[in-house]
Structure formats: C-alpha cells, structure tokens
Structure 1
Amino acid sequence: MLQRLLVYLLSSLCLCAQAADLRLVTGDDYAPFTGQALPEGGMLTQVVRAALQQSNIASSLDWQPWKRGYLKTLRGDYDATFPYVRTPQREEEFLYSEPLFIAEQHIFSRAGEVIEVDDVPSMQGRRLCYPLGWQPPPIIQQLVDDGQLNRHSPAGLHECARLLLMGRDDFFISDRRLGETALRLTGEPIERFRRSNSAINRSTLHLIVPRSHPQAAVIIAQFNQGLAQLRASGDYQRMLERHQQQGESATP
C-alpha cells in the first residue's frame, strides 16, 4: 500500500513540471531491438516510448553511436538511454528500470564448427567478434583478459555476421533473436551457420537514467509504472510478436 502511494505521489509531482520532452538516446544496428531502419525504430524502442506514453510522458529520441550516446547520457545531455545490461560499473552511475526484455545469449559460429558454452578449450585461440561498447559475459571477458581469446570489435553485429561468413572471425555471441536477425541480413541461408545448443548466460535489458539526474528516481518510477501497464494490457507481448513476425518475413 505504501509503495503504491509513493508511486502515486511521484507520478503527481514529477515530470509534469518538466517543460521539455524526456530526452532519449539509443544506438543503431541492434536489430530487432533498436535500429533506425526498423519499424518503430525497433522492438524495444517501441516498448520504451509506449511505456512512457502510458505514464503521459512525452519523449524525443536521438540516435548516436553507442559509446557516444552512453557518455552523453552520463554527463546530462540526455535523460535516459536504452537498452543496457547490468554491470557493476554501470550500477554505480545509473538507475535501472524494470527489465525491458530477458535475453539468452548464444554462441554463433559457422556450420560444422562446434563451439559450445561448456567447452572452453573450443574457444581458446579463436577470434571473437563482439561489437564496440558491448559487455561480454564474464567467462568470455576472462578469456579475453587472459589472452586466450582474441576480441575484434566492429561497430555492430551485422558486421560480425559478415566477418563470420568471410572467415575473418570465428564466432560471435548475442541474444538468439539478435544473432538470427544479423545472420538473415547477410542474405545467406541460415544453414550456413550454427547456434550453440545452450545459452552462455541470461541477461536483462533496461532503460537507464544517470544517478546524478535530479529526477532520476522519479523517471524510473514512472517508467516502471507505464511498463507494468503495458504488460498488463497485453500490448507488450503483442509488440514483441509483431516485431518477430516482421523479422521473419523480412528479406535483405
């Protein structure tokens, strides 16, 4: 009861006093989650803006390279950015929303080259493609830090899929939907690639607001309220299903 009263009071106070739209920023080439060429800017772009609308919060959206958008949000040029996984460093600097999406990360390699999560030796000495600004799972980061795995960091996952096809890199790691979308966009049959049988880890994607923002807690509370309403209405699930269908029917 007390929690509901707090949310109500925050909702009453908060962004009504804010004259300008809530300033959002995200990055490109993260299909199906975000992308300037995708319908509605991508699945999670639509979810974020719809959740804000549920709380009667107007928003504007800019597109920036991932690292630049993140840093500009941290210094106050934007109010919030998305979608980001939790890391200890980020949690020191940002407040997190409730999860926008639960992602299961898999290893993607060429067909015939078996690289599995529970077979660390199969990764050693290989070339990992992992986009700039992305945070690898802990076990992978440790292999990179120990010099047992070579990381190559292009701008986006589509480039990783292309480099995998060319034999320039050996594998990449991503959420199943992200990885399969990137592979389809190469124009090659999906049978030319392999996805690991099990997930390397599960992670949640979030909207984040700098702790230094004077209304950070209020923004997160109102956003979470809107997201909960979106889920309760069934609109959240319908958005995910619609974007998945569009991805399956898309041709390069």
Structure 2
Amino acid sequence: MSHHWTSALRGALVAVGLLTVVAGPVRAELSTVMPELVTGPNFAPFTGDDLPQGGLMTELVQRAFKAAGRSYGVRFVPWKRGYDGVVSGRFLASFPFVRTPERERDALFSDPLIEVRQFVYMSTHTRMSFSGPEDFRGRVVCAPIGFALPIELDAMVRQGELTRESPSDLTACVRMVATGRADAFVLDEYTGSTAVIHAGVINDIRVAERPYATVSLHLIVGRVTPDAPAILAGFNEGLRALKSSDVYQEMLARHTAVAPR
C-alpha cells in the first residue's frame, strides 16, 4: 500500500436504511438451542451494532437465512462469549470467522461469505518490515481477545518466538500499535483500514506493501448443535442464491468501498 491509502479509506463505510428482523424457532429438536445468531461489535464494515443493518456480514447472513426460509434475530456480544456460546450449543451460529484448525475442531463452517486480503499494519515507531511471517520473530503482535492469529504466527507465540498482546477490543489494539507498545497487527484490508481511521491514528500506522494472505470469512455452527449440517446446508443454499443474483454485489458496494493499494 502507498502512503496515499488513507484518503481513499474515508469512504469505507456507507450508511443506508434499517433492516427489521423477525426472530423465530429453528425446529422442534433445537429447543435447547437459542434460535439466535450472535456476532461481535466494532468490526466495521462487517459487523457492529452502530452500523446500518448491523454491517455487511450481518445483513448478508440474515438475508441468506431468509432466502432459505428462516429468519433469526442477531445479538451483539463480545467475540469470545459469542464463540464459546456457539461451541457449547447455547447459540445457533456466529460470524464472521476465519478457518483455523482449532476452530474446525469446535464448529462446522459455511461456504465463504467473502474473500479478503489480510495485511500487516505496523507502527511508525518500529523498524519492523514485512516480507514474510519470519519477520515477526522477536516482535510483539496485537490481536484482541477472540481474534485468531494466522497459523504461522500462532505457532510462533506457542513456541515463545513471538509475544501476543490481547486487549479487549480492536480499537485498543490499534492504539497499542500506534504508540509502539506492539509492533503490528494483522487484519483484512477493510476492517484494518477502518479501525485505523476510527482510532484517529492514521499518521502512526503504516501498512505493508504485500498482503500477508488471502482468507475467507465464514458463518460457524457448533458441532454439538442438533441438526448442524442441515442448518448449514440451508444457509449455504440461501447464500448461493444471493451470490448468483445482483443482491450480493449490491450489498458489498453499499457497505464498503474498494480498499486501496
């Protein structure tokens, strides 16, 4: 990314309309599971209780379920609480999540909601550069509670080669990097760029030229949830219907701007 990225980012979110959602039961055999979707806050433009329709992913997930003949309410809760609630079967599903081996042991994953590029956001107060995961050795990476690090970085943390700081929310993480208390964070181009703008630290963050990786984001359903494969099959059918029409691109354009390089 060039140093001109910040001016284009200011159009990252577009405010439009409101969506009314009707909550309803899933099926009789799901009586022990709350017929409710959960997601986390402060993850613009994808999720947030202060965003139009709750953000791009919130609108997409609800509309995909509706296309499959099911309507659910959405609750915004801390990311870890929502994830744990889905894994235990308390909540029906959560989103959006990147696949990791640990998460795949806990939950079933939908078809991709969207594919995004992850970038390394670094402090202007550190000499760190990025050409590959090995550049993180001996550094401090920030990832909020409930956020997953890329597999290679998670392995470095487990081996003591990389220190992880985990504040309670994304804004705190961005400010830790901006002030030099952490060297970097890794996040998709939309959420990362928006978080930097909202934290008011544009001049204190620089972005690596090359992406860290391209990943997909998913809806998850706990493996212990009764009828989980059928729930996902219905959702995936609705998602495919949206993607095959103009609705998906319309939602994407309405909630985001193209993230600059």
TM-score range, shorter chain: 0.7 to 0.9
Q: CA deviation at 1:192?
A: 3.8
C-alpha separation in 2, matches of 1:186 and 1:93: 33
Aligned twin of 1:25? 38
Change in 2 beyond 3 A, CA 1:167/1:225: same
Q: Say whether the 8 Å CA contact 1:209–1:220 is kept in structure 2.
A: yes
Asked if 1:52 is matched to 2:69, the reply is no
1:224 to 236, 243, 247: 236
Q: Say whether the 8 Å CA contact 1:94–1:211 is kept in structure 2.
A: yes
Aligned twin of 1:237? 249
TM-score normalised by length of structure 2 = 0.81
Asked if 1:155 is matched to 2:161, the reply is no
Decide which structure has greater helix share. 1
C-alpha separation in 2, matches of 1:67 and 1:227: 25
C-alpha separation in 1, matches of 2:109 and 2:43: 20
1:93 to 77, 82, 106: 106
Number of residue pairs matched? 233
Gaps of 5+ in 2: 1-24
C-alpha separation in 2, matches of 1:74 and 1:141: 21
2:52 to 39, 46, 70: 39
1:105 to 114, 118, 132: 118
Aligned twin of 2:207? 195
Deviates more, 1:110-119 or 1:44-53: 110-119
Aligned twin of 1:118? 132
Per-residue CA deviations over 1:114-145 (Å, capped at 9, x if unaligned) read 5213272x433222111112221122112222
Match of 1:162, as an amino acid?
A: R
Match of 2:200, as an amino acid?
A: G
Per-residue CA deviations over 1:91-115 (Å, capped at 9, x if unaligned) read 2332211001112211101347452
Change in 2 beyond 3 A, CA 1:144/1:136: same
Q: Say whether the 8 Å CA contact 2:189–2:259 is kept in structure 1.
A: no
Asked if 1:213 is matched to 2:190, the reply is no
Change in 2 beyond 3 A, CA 1:150/1:139: same
Aligned twin of 1:137? 150
Q: CA deviation at 1:167?
A: 2.1
Q: Say whether the 8 Å CA contact 2:93–2:222 is kept in structure 1.
A: yes
Asked if 1:175 is matched to 2:188, the reply is yes
Q: Say whether the 8 Å CA contact 2:133–2:152 is kept in structure 1.
A: no
SS at match of 2:91: coil
Taking every aligned residue pair, what percent have the same amino acid on both sides? 37
TM-score normalised by length of structure 1 = 0.83
Q: CA deviation at 1:80?
A: 0.9
C-alpha separation in 1, matches of 2:258 and 2:101: 35
The CA RMSD over aligned residues, in Å, is 2.5
C-alpha separation in 1, matches of 2:73 and 2:67: 15
Q: Say whether the 8 Å CA contact 2:179–2:204 is kept in structure 1.
A: no
Aligned twin of 1:165? 178
Alignment of 1:66-85 (within 5 A): 66-85=79-98
Aligned twin of 1:11? none
SS at match of 1:108: strand
SS at match of 1:206: strand
Gaps of 5+ in 1: 1-13
